[in-house]
A and B are shown apart, each in its own frame.
Chain A
Amino acid sequence: MSARWGWLAGFLLLAGSAWASEDNYVAATRGRALAIAGDCIACHTAPGGVPFAGGLPLETPFGTIMTPNLTPDEATGIGRWTVDDFARAMHEGVRPDGRQLYPAFPYPFYTKVARADVEAIYAYLRTLDPVTSRVDRDTMPFPFNIRAAMSGWNSLFFTPGAFKPDPQRSEEYNRGAYLVEGLGHCGACHTPLNALGANKASQPLQANRINDWTAPNLTNDARLGLGSWSVDEVVTYLRTGRNATGQASGPMGEVIAHSTSQMPVADLRAMAIYLKERGTAGSTAPSPLPASDARMRTGEAIFIDTCSACHTSTGAGIANIFPRLAKNPVVQQDDPATLVRVVLAGARAVATAAAPTAPAMPSLGYRLNDEQVAAVLTYVRNSWGNAAEAVSSADVQRVRKVLVSGK
């Protein structure tokens, strides 16, 4: 190689790293905060792997997708992507080679993220150490391995376009809406899915089952949603993983650990205001089962003997340690999957810097059979002012099968 070519190569290398230079420090720092709000790390990190290097198997009803490497490695990451490539993936769900991304990557939400924020995230990702992490990106079975089929899906369910603030609403409300509907992609889990895996636009944030967890209703409904929580209580929950009512565990615990507990309180407050002001929706309350019902009597006996020592006999719980069951929206969701799971397998609350204790609920699956779990949950869902459909032993059997097989 002549000296001149060497010089040119050096120049190109410098140009390539320009996004990571100090000039971009402000953008990269802002991008880091935005990447936290988007919880990118949760999906783009393999268990025990390097953050953002991808390789997490994402289970979808249509097959398993391996998440790609977001570090700036040229061969296996997005090192060759330009900022325009990155923006196109975020806004349109299309790779630089023109092939479609699957909506397991939440581009139907990220399309709302402002171009300046996308650029900041890009600047941040460029500052990461490049990691060689080759991920098999073609694990979907036929016919879902035909990525072009996503064009049809997009025409049905994908509305591209930037976020449009509502001028009638406060700045905080609009900031919250931007975060919830965009980077936060709360609806990916909390909005019901249709048969083709798209979030039902007609039922936004009205609860969904995902991997046998119930993602609860996030409308302002008093029984099912956030109606019984103040804005401050929502903020406390997102910031610390707990509030006076309950504790986060499972997938929401992970969201809180990686994302919301590290977000600015002003943003959490904006999200809480948006969620609480955007309205109320959900099923109407059934009449609670009478205490004389045989399931209620069995359930009460099991509850008094097994649960009341922590959750107390009136279902009031102990603030910040043992979740309150009375008038707790999680307890009254239409789908009892989370409740069944927590009773069978136990649960571990998320540990955050603000609330590091992380109390746990013991597993009771060895001690209670399916009928007994159904009875005690039916009792909890219909006592102390709660009202929800009875839990059947078939519900319990289904979740137990999933927990035993680990899938």
Chain B
Amino acid sequence: MNRTTRRQLLSASALVALTGTAFGRSFRNGLPWSPNEAYPPSPITPRAWQFFSPDEVAAVDAIVDRLIPSDDLGAGGREAGCTVFIDRQLAGPYGVHDGLYMDGPFPPNPLPSQGLQSPVTPRQQYRQGLAALSAYCKATYAGRVFASLSHEEQDALLTAMEKGEAKLPGYDGRSLFAAIYANTIEGYFADPVYGGNRDMVGWKLVGFPGTRYDYRDVIDKPNQPYMLPPVAMQGRPAWGQLP
């Protein structure tokens, strides 16, 4: 029988006690503060692609532009920078699920409450998924890739992927669609500092005011239009030259 010895118990308690001290800090006379302290995100500059290959850019551009097409309401996914946003996210910590617990076991049929249950990182997901999509298109559409399909063909294929009906070779089309769909929405509505939502186009479309966060002046004026234009972390045109 496996029994805890007195020695083990004491060592474990000592370890806990030591660890506890290591993380405990006390502050007097207010919390620590130092001048110039800020942790701003570095703005995205649309230079070379950091993760996608040119073929992948063409495919993702085509997909995000079918998910959010350009129309008289505003720019579409490509023009709004969704592909740039996804590229930079994949190149950064999100691309490797940095910060998520990525060791197994991964149940094959997880409960929804168990969240993400896969060893595949977003980078692998895009790389393998887009390769599978390319192979599928070439086989199905006489050597053409996704970007060269007609809008009707693209819509039909995306719909089939969403429903799990398009069988991509060696990759689950539904999970590829789900990833791009979610990341496109994020790119379209995240702050422009991250590369998407160019000129706050997503916010203008839905009337979101941006980083302004106090509405006491208007809260008591229901059913009246909110007139102030949206503002991003880096400001808005009325601020003059942006930093």
Contact = CB atoms under 8 A, between A and B. Distances in A.
Given A313-B217, A346-B37, A403-B35, A305 B243 contact: no
A371 B29 contact: no
Given A301-B238, A367-B243, A348 B38 contact: no
A351 B31 CA distance: 10
Contacts of A364: 38
Contact of A308 (B29, B31, B214, B233): B214
The B contact surface, by secondary structure, is loop
Given A345-B35, A363-B36, A305 B29 contact: no
A304 B210 CA distance: 13
B222 interface: no
Nearest to A349: B30
Interface stretch (A81-89, A275-283, A354-362): A354-362
Interface in A274-331: 297-298, 301-302, 304-305, 308-310, 312-313
Given A367-B233, A369-B241, A305 B40 contact: no
What band does the interface of chain B fall in when counting residues whose beta carbon is under 8 Å from A? Answer: 20 to 34
A364 B35 CA distance: 10
Contacts of A348: 30, 33
Contacts of A403: 35-36
B80 interface: no
B213 interface: yes
Contacts of A297: 238
A322 to B, nearest CB: 11
A351 B241 contact: no
A99 to B, nearest CB: 37
The A contact surface, by secondary structure, is mixed
A177 interface: no
Contact of B211 (A302, A305, A360, A375): A305
B212 A372 contact: no
A11 interface: no
A368 interface: yes
A59 B240 CA distance: 37
A351 B29 contact: yes
A259 to B, nearest CB: 15
Interface residues of A, number: 33
A305 B30 contact: no
B231 A369 contact: no
Given A304-B228, A305-B212, A371-B240, A363 B38 contact: yes
B212 A302 contact: no
Contact of A365 (B36, B231, B239): B36
27 contacts: A297-B238, A298-B240, A301-B238, A304-B212, A304-B228, A305-B235, A313-B217, A345-B36, A346-B37, A346-B38, A347-B35, A348-B33, A356-B29, A356-B30, A358-B29, A358-B30, A363-B38, A364-B38, A366-B243, A367-B38, A367-B40, A367-B235, A368-B243, A369-B243, A372-B235, A372-B240, A372-B243
Given A366-B40, A403-B36, 13 more contacts: A298-B238, A298-B239, A304-B228, A305-B212, A346-B33, A346-B36, A356-B29, A358-B31, A362-B38, A363-B36, A363-B37, A367-B234, A369-B241
Interface of B: 29-31, 33, 35-38, 40, 211-214, 216-217, 228, 231, 233-236, 238-243
